[in-house]
């Protein structure tokens, strides 16, 4: 099993494997056909309260990441993603944020790595 991530706005590729949108909100301007999703995992995204409070403020990313990790630990959604990794050779986590380094998907990918998943850059 290997997890990776990319923006949902980037074209789908055969090497993406199983494609999972990990945003709570549908990405603006992307049709369902263009997204080519296998799964929309809304529940693994940050809670609406945490997302609204943080709103991609780079200065507060460490605080956001810690609180999001707490949410991941408390729920079952991230563990379900780990299970998907055992069923598919490759799972690509899709996100809509513009910043490819400062976003919840990077935190989620790190959480998956810490819980035994193989992660590709």
Domain extents for the chain? 2-114
- Predicted pLDDT of residue 121: 74
Q: Give pLDDT tens digits along the chain (121 positions).
A: 799 999 999 999 999 999 999 999 999 999 999 999 999 999 999 999 999 888 777 889 999 999 999 999 999 999 999 999 999 999 999 999 999 999 999 999 999 999 999 998 7
For the stretch 80-90, pLDDT in tens is 999 999 999 99
In three state form, how does the secondary structure of the chain look? CEEEEEECCCCCCHHHCEEEECCCCCCCCCCHHHHCCCEECHHHCCCHHHHHHHCCCHHHHHHHHHHHHHHHHHCCHHHHHHHHHHHCCEEEEEECCCCCCCCHHHHHHHHHHHCCCCECC
């Amino acid at each position: 099993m290997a997890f990776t991530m990319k923006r949902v706005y980037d074209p789908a590729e055969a090497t993406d494997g199983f494609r999972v949108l990990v945003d709570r909100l549908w990405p603006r301007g992307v049709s369902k056909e263009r997204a080519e999703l296998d799964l929309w995992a809304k529940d693994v995204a940050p809670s609406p309260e945490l997302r609204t409070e943080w709103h991609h403020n780079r200065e507060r990313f460490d605080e956001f990441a810690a609180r999001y990790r707490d949410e991941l630990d408390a729920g079952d959604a991230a563990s379900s993603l780990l299970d998907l990794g055992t069923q598919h050779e490759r799972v690509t986590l899709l996100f809509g944020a513009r910043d490819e380094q400062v976003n919840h998907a990077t935190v989620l990918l790190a959480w998956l790595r810490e819980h035994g998943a193989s992660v590709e850059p």
